[in-house]
A and B are shown apart, each in its own frame.
Chain A
Amino acid sequence: MSMLDTLLLISLLTVLLTGLGQRVTFIGWIATLLLTAQLLTLLLMGKLGYGGEIIDASFGFSILGQPLNWRYDALSWFFALITIGSALAGSAFAAGAWGDQYRKEGGNPGLLQFSIALNVLAMLLLLGSGDLLSLFIGWELVSWASLLLMVIAGGRASEFGMRYIVYATAGAMAVLAGLAIIFQLTGSFAYDDLAAVAPALNTLQIVTLTLLFFFGFGIKMGLLPFHLWQADAYAETPGPGTAFLGAISSRMGLYAILVVIIQLIGLVRLIEIEIPYSFLSLRDLLMWVAAISIIIPTFIALRQSDARRLLAWHGIGQGGYMLIGLLVLDPYGSAGGLMHVFNHATYQAALFLSVSAVIYRTRTSDLNRLGGLVTRMPLSFLVMLIGIIGLAGIPPMNGFVSKWLVYRSLIIEGMPLLFVASVIGTLGTILSVYKLIHNTFLGQLRLEHEHIREVPLSMTIPMLVLSAIVFITGFMPGLVLDWVGSAQVALGMPQLAHTLGGVESTQGSLDMIWVCSVLFGGFAVGALLFYSGNKAKRVHQLDNYAGGHFLTADVRYHYSDNFYAGLMHHIGSWYRGSFLWLESSLISVVSSLSGGAQLLYNSFHPALYLLMAITLSLYFFIG
């Protein structure tokens, strides 16, 4: 029995126990404990992260002549670490006071824990897949497991879950078609066979396979134009579930793209294929899809007035960075892309948890109904602050390092437009995350929120741990880059040479330890200057400049709605909802076709059809 078996067994045990113990009040803690056990088991497999031997599962099946097997390499381990870590954060957050309140409101925390555990199991299976068939099985398991997590909130969540599953099934079907083509070409579903045959494939086959897999798996990542489902579906999931989904769920798509397109089919082939009548190669096309997936969702996020939706839209945008980095095909870009998976998971989970904490206390995530909470929930504020700095990719948090790697590879490889696109995404992110923190925690505290308190310890600890990780891995990115390097090797890519503080290179290096130290030194200087002045007296928020007006508590003195009015004045008309229009017209087409199809059965002249059919078929053969 290998370590991998143990891991999967514990995961299965988690699913079973949480499934059976729905009525146990402390089920959340059991789930947390078991997830911790999973994390420990994974850490015992930690050699993988430093270039250890591949660990095979001792079980395996052979179905219809096709062997199915599971194994973990450095890449799987890296993704599994993120998966279990974010699940643990979500589960621990939900285990205590949050779960109690959720139960009081008619929710079932046990079911939530069960769905998280189920998702983890499905993801662990997907990450361990050793051939295309087990990959597809894992893929579908993940898809359907996350549906469960999305719809347990009921109400509108079910609608969004429904929408998700339509997209997800469409993606899965594309993948299935791709698998069938591969099976036809190689006669098996083994990775090695595909890798062996890939160099011999012709252009049409490569293009077909790439597009099928890219969009099939890309739907999970919310790549354009299949991005519409994600934000709503994630946002309506109960708090900790959102954190888990937002942190890792979409990255399964990235994992699959990595394995199939980058590892097996090979990017080199994609670069060779020129798209007629354009300057682009197939790889460039994919990169542009990624770039547009950065920009458009980010700017959609800017328009959101719901904290969870805002974050969820950013989740899509950030996925683009990972993909773009990985598609550059140099050690910097791919390291940046992979590292961003980790970084994104940490800060996104922290952000979602922080928003959940706000919802826990205020019952709303409407950005126009919040404000000034920093004095009441300082720890949640701190978590959100660290999270948004990470999300915006500003030093000293970890998001900066991974984005820096991506930028740097785009610069050195000479891809100006893609670089600009990714920077525009970052700038848009800065705008919208400031709106998030401003409308939630800064500004005027509303009367009805005067008496709320910080969330209990069971919720703050997971958040704080996550934000600590965000900072520490920003301060010492080498910790993560070790794992990333091993994953690069597992993918067959050149490994990034790195130090504890970042990278050393003649073409521009980065040493976050120095940068962060100097930054904090700078803060110290700033503080010194600041506190050299006379001590400041705290004043009430209504002791404020209002052009001589006397402010009273009932006056809403908080600027939150249409926060970027000037920008929207200019770019507002660019939001046309074209994709929504496209989606709804597709639905209407299906709907009218469906109505037309039913006509055939609704009326009473079947004999006529029979006659027509005979005539046609006779014509078919005789005529």
Chain B
Amino acid sequence: MQEVMPATGVFSLLWLLIALPLAGAAILLFSGRKTNKWGPYLGVFTVFVDAIIAIWMLIAMMGNSAEQRTFSQNEFSWMFAGNLKVDMAFQLDQLSMVFVLLITVVGTLIHIYSLGYMSHDPDKRKFFGYLNLFVAAMLLLVLANNYLLLYVGWEGVGLASFLLISFWQIKPTAAAAGKKAFIINRVGDVGLSLAIMVMFVTFGSVGFDEVFGSTSQASEGTLTAIGLLLLLAAAGKSAQFPLQAWLLDAMEGPTPVSALIHAATMVTAGVYLITRSNAIFDAAAWAATAVVVVGVITMFMGAIIGSAKDDIKKSLAGSTMSQIGYMVLAAGLGPVGYVFAIFHLLTHGVFKAGLFLGAGSVMHGMNDNVNMRRYGALRTAMMVTYATFIIGTLSIMGIPPFSGFWSKDSIIHAAFESNTLVGILTIIAAAITGFYMTRMAAMTFFGKARWEDGVHPHESPKVMTIPLIILAIGSTFMGIALLFWGNIETWLEPVTGFEEKHIAIPEWALITITLILVLAGAAYGWIQYARREVPLVAPRGNWLTRAARQDLYGDAVNNTLVVQPSFWLSRFLVWFDGSWIDGFVNGSAAFFGGLSARLRPYQSGFIRSYALSMVGGAVLVVLALVLVRLS
């Protein structure tokens, strides 16, 4: 168990990490047009300062011994009633630290890039406001010291994601995509909510320390339940099967958003959640297995979808799904995998951000066309983009010495450590990665130009290319740096635990096999899309391709199973409400009115009939008296 240190020194600024971008967001969103001019710069500035604070904290943290790297800051009591006591409290440990760095540093780069990318958008100020909001929420997510506060960040990033996906909401597709993302995420949120409730009912607390401290006392059934519910939450946020359908649509958002939120940071929150909850998954084997299964399924789904899409961003989105599948799978492996899940998360965050920004740069030069079939031969037109994109591609394919190689190889190794089948599957998925990334690079930068009329590809401005270059440098060296210099295993070990198992296959053999398969996939991609002519209109393709173009029928399934029945139910209830419940209400009013009309003729106006009813009344009275007496 780690020692929890009071947040002193630079760590007393923990709250500021969140408050800065939050304040930025507030100023940008509430100030109105007055801040149009300098607003975007303010947005960049807050995140930049955050990054500096984060680096400073990292340095300070490294100065402490491994056991003294958890810092906690309690602001005030947030929610309390009965035995519920939740504090507005932040905690920084090694795991959060790497996330904070990823978020702030990559965030800064993407903010800077956006200055160029969004320069012509009239709602630029709002865009940076949303981005700041996102950064604040994401930092809250990773800095919370309890699940409920994490939930706030969790939904906060969801909100930012919703806002940014539907940023160009004048496009109905964008608006619909945002809504879809939010609602599917809400399904995941149900999981998180319920997980928190089970925790509270079981442990009487939702704080990380309290929950993890008493897992040993809880039954495995309970822990499995919590684990599965957390998995549902993670699936929602990280676009894992079966809640994967939103991520592809989310590409409707501006490309920097796709880079920051839907590649580097937010979508990896699920991995964070699982890793953070390692104490639970370690004690719930079934839940961990489920995590692996979900990871594997998504890894393939994403890869297959990525291989079939012609839209460069959707293809990248498929790849993101697939890579997160790797991470989730690794996290499901337990102590052998947590560290590498995070490792891959970090490297992926950098290279995928680079790839997305690269894609954005390409689109920027191609009048925002995303169809790769209308690209081609762009390597000369946009040199920097080309170079950085290729570095990213090599990194994600896992070619040494690029950073992706180290992290992905670690996962494959860890997979073999726990289950050979999973290991084999990870290698196959790696081969598919080779194929679709090569396909993407080939269609975009190689082959013949298939540009639309009037398109004049050009390199993007410096404000965009410099972040690309920085990210490319990261994609190249980060793996080595983290593994050998940063010692990621030892760094995270106090939080996540770490163990290494011996496997039958020697290390070098595994790497060789993997590389051969990846290269084979890449070669196939090259032959298909660089050597041959790429048709402007996609050929029909085989059943798998067609299915993949339909996102493997994710939407269709959702529609048939959930959306349509909901609308039918809704329509039925509207009818039921009007005809039956309200019908009863109005009917009873009508009943008395009708009764009244029915009775009125008895008031006939004839004296004799009145007299008759009086006689009847007298008889009634006497009869009543007699009856009472008789009874």
Our verdict on whether A and B bind, yes or no, reads no
A residues sitting closer than 8 Å to B (CB atoms) are none
